[in-house]
Amino acid sequence: MRPARNPLAARRPARRGTILIVTLWIVLVLAGLTLMLARAMRVEAVCAANELAALQAEAIEQGAVQYVLSRVDSLQGEGPVESDTPCEVVRVGAGAFWILRPDYENDAACVYGISDEAAKANLNIAPVEMLAKLPGMTQELAASVVDWRDGDANPTPGGAESEYYLLLPEPYQCKNAPLETVEELLLVKDFTPEILFGEDVNRNGMLDANEDDADVSAPPDDRNGALDRGLAPFVTVHSVEPNISADGERRVNLNDVQNQQPLFDLLREKLSADRAIVLTDRVRRERPFRNVLDFHIRAGLTPAEFQAVADHLTTNPASVLRGLVNVNTAPRAVLASLPGLDDTDAAALIAKRSESGVDLGSVAWVAQALRPEKAVAIGDFITTRTYRFSADIVSVAGNGRAFRRCRIVVDAQTSPPKVLYRQDLTHLGWPLSQDILDKIRAGTPLDEIATTRTVLQEAQ
């Protein structure tokens, strides 16, 4: 008799196959989860590294700000000495920073250094005729600036008051108060980003490829091989200085009719007792003087005598002088905008200040560079001192994963100096050669990058 068959025995192969399939699915799911977890961990690691790099770049920027403040401290109106103020690939920890400065005579390469705000025309002080001569400006634009900053509601010919601004699609009042930033010009009648920044959309002072390719890429440009810098590099709202001499003493007012003793004492100390008597008498007969250059010419001082006393004299009783242009550092375009001057006069000033042996401690040298009437015409608008500086700072983390850029304006009238204004420019993109950033990301030592940049600049 045959034994009875077990019905469960026939099902065992099918059950084993089912278990195998389920096991494979579980392994597949676990593998997928593992891959997803690994990918998520990788993304988190990259994000963490980027966040760390961003914090490093921010810390380097703060270090750069303190570096600028330290370099302009206690200069007493002088500018920082370039040889003592490195501004290219300055190491901070594993990263570095650069301080960019426009080279007004060359748009093919970057230069580095702290900028002089007094080398620019002050939008709140410069008369309409001076504003109209600046790059990209017209008489109408200059008139609109004057109407925006003055305290009355009377329109300057060609300008605009609130009647114009209230009829705009998004109306607002004319400010009738000083400008607080250069970018505030974009609120003024007919000003555009093109007028303010020209073709230099990233504001690095260099003619980049996209700024010289016509309409191939933004911005639209004329493809003439030269950078249209716009108005912004030539103007400021920050220039101001105390009315004191280099030694910190309050200047003697030539037009003070109440007390002539300080003038006599100064002339006797710097020149001689005999000359003090003669010159004091001339001052009594010739005053008022328009400015110290007017005094030099009308009182008959020799160049050497004027050089000795020029920095100690003034015709302005104010304790603070605003908007004076530093003739020692101003670019050609700003010098040519001064009242009564043109490009030829600006070139003469630049040539004179570049001569060896010229004493730039006062405006006395200007009388040797220009005809007397032209020297007197600009005497109310010039200085040889700077107390406010700006710095365009680019900072990068050591691995090149993050960078920051900002522009600051600092006031060096007090010690320690203080930051008056900060503008974040990171959104404008990396302003230097892309090759620098690529090398940092590839692990090239920063010292080698600095050497490479120096060689490239010398070759140019």
Q: Could you tell me the CATH number of the domain that includes residue 217?
A: 1.10.40
Q: d(Cα 97, Cα 60) in Å, to the nearest integer?
A: 7
Q: Residue 389 domain-assigned?
A: no
Q: Is 210 found in the same domain as 301?
A: no
Query: Are 142 and 211 contained in the same domain?
Result: yes
- Between CA 226 and CA 207 the distance in angstroms is 7
23 domain-assigned: no
Pairing of strands 252-253, 313-314: parallel
- pLDDT tens digit at each of 460 positions of the chain: 555 555 555 555 566 678 878 888 888 888 888 888 888 878 877 788 789 999 999 999 999 999 999 999 999 999 999 889 999 999 999 999 999 998 999 988 888 999 999 999 999 999 999 999 999 999 999 999 999 999 999 999 999 999 999 999 999 999 999 999 999 999 999 999 999 999 999 999 999 888 888 888 888 888 898 999 999 999 999 999 999 999 899 999 999 988 889 999 999 999 999 999 999 999 999 999 999 999 999 999 999 999 999 999 999 999 999 999 999 999 999 999 999 999 999 999 999 999 999 999 999 999 999 999 999 999 999 999 999 999 999 999 999 999 999 999 999 999 999 999 999 999 999 999 999 999 999 999 988 887 554 443 444 4
Query: Are both 168 and 193 inside the same structural domain?
Result: yes
Residues 266, 292: Cα–Cα separation, whole Å: 14
Helix ranges (DSSP H) in 82-168: 128-132, 139-149, 162-165
Q: Which tens digit of pLDDT belongs to each residue from 202-261?
A: 999 999 888 888 888 888 888 898 999 999 999 999 999 999 999 899 999 999 988 889
* Torsion over CA: 269, 270, 272, 276 (sign): negative
Percent of the chain with pLDDT over 70: 94
Distance between CA 357 and CA 400 in Å, rounded? 45
Whether residue 431 has a cis bond before it, omega within 30° of 0: no
Gap between the Cα atoms of 131 and 142, Å rounded: 5
Residue 6: inside a domain: no
Regarding whether 249 and 232 lie in a shared domain, the answer is no
**Last-in-domain residue among 238, 271, 296:** 238
One domain for residues 201 and 299? no
Distance CA 165, CA 404 (A): 36
Given this model, what pLDDT does residue 454 score? 43
Residue 450 and residue 88 in contact, taking contact as beta carbons nearer than 8 Å: yes
| Residue 389 CB neighbours (<10 A) | 26
**Residue that finishes a domain, picked among 380, 412, 431:** 380
Task: Clarify whether residues 250 and 230 are in a common domain.
Answer: no
> 224 - beta bridge partners?
none
- 365 CA to centre of own chain: 27
Residue 145 lies in a domain: yes
Buried b (16+ CB within 10 A) or exposed e, 152-183: eeebbebbbbbebbeeeeeeeebbeebbeebe
Polymer length of the chain: 460
Q: Quick one: 210 and 307 in the same domain? A: no
How many folded domains does the chain comprise?
2
- Domain co-membership, 170 together with 295: no
Residue ending a domain, choose from 173, 208, 238: 238
Residues 144 and 203 in one domain: yes
In a domain, 423, yes or no: no
φ and ψ at 170, to 5 degrees? -115, 90
Residue 444's Cβ-count burial label (10 Å; 0-12, 13-18, 19+) is middle
Give the residue carrying structure tokens 């522009």. Answer: 407
Question: What per-residue confidence (pLDDT) applies to 459?
Answer: 41
∠ CA 156-159-160, nearest 5°, is: 105
The reply to whether 300 and 179 lie within a common domain is no
Range of the domain at 303: 244-317+340-380
Q: What is the sign of the dihedral through the CA atoms of 291, 244, 180 and 88?
A: positive
Assess whether 234 and 248 both reside in one domain: no
Cα–Cα distance for residue pair 72/114, rounded to 1 Å:
9
In a domain, 54, yes or no: no
**Rounded Cα distance, 98 and 273, in Å:** 53
SS3 410: strand
Structural domain includes residue 459: no
Q: How far apart are CA 320 and CA 187, in angstroms?
A: 29
DSSP-assigned letters across all residues of 5-74? PPTTGGGHHHHHHHHHHHHHHHHHHHHHHHHHHHHHHHHHHHHHHHHHHHHHHHHHHHHHHHHHHHHTTT
The structure tokens listed for 121 are: 């025309």
Q: What is the DSSP string of 166-225?
A: TTSSS------S--SSGGGGGGSTT--HHHHHTT-TT-SSS--GGGSSTTSSSSP---SS
Q: Give kind and range of the element (H or E) at residue 388.
A: strand 388-396
- Does a structural domain hold residue 97? no
The per-residue pLDDT for 34 is 84
CA distances (Å), origin 197, targets 53, 74, 201, 293, 386: 30, 33, 6, 35, 24
Positive or negative: CA dihedral 381, 382, 385, 386:
positive
- Check if the beta carbon of residue 369 is closer than 8 Å to that of residue 349: yes
Closest CA to 381 of 310, 322, 309: 322
Are both 231 and 198 inside the same structural domain?
yes
* pTM, rounded to two decimals: 0.88
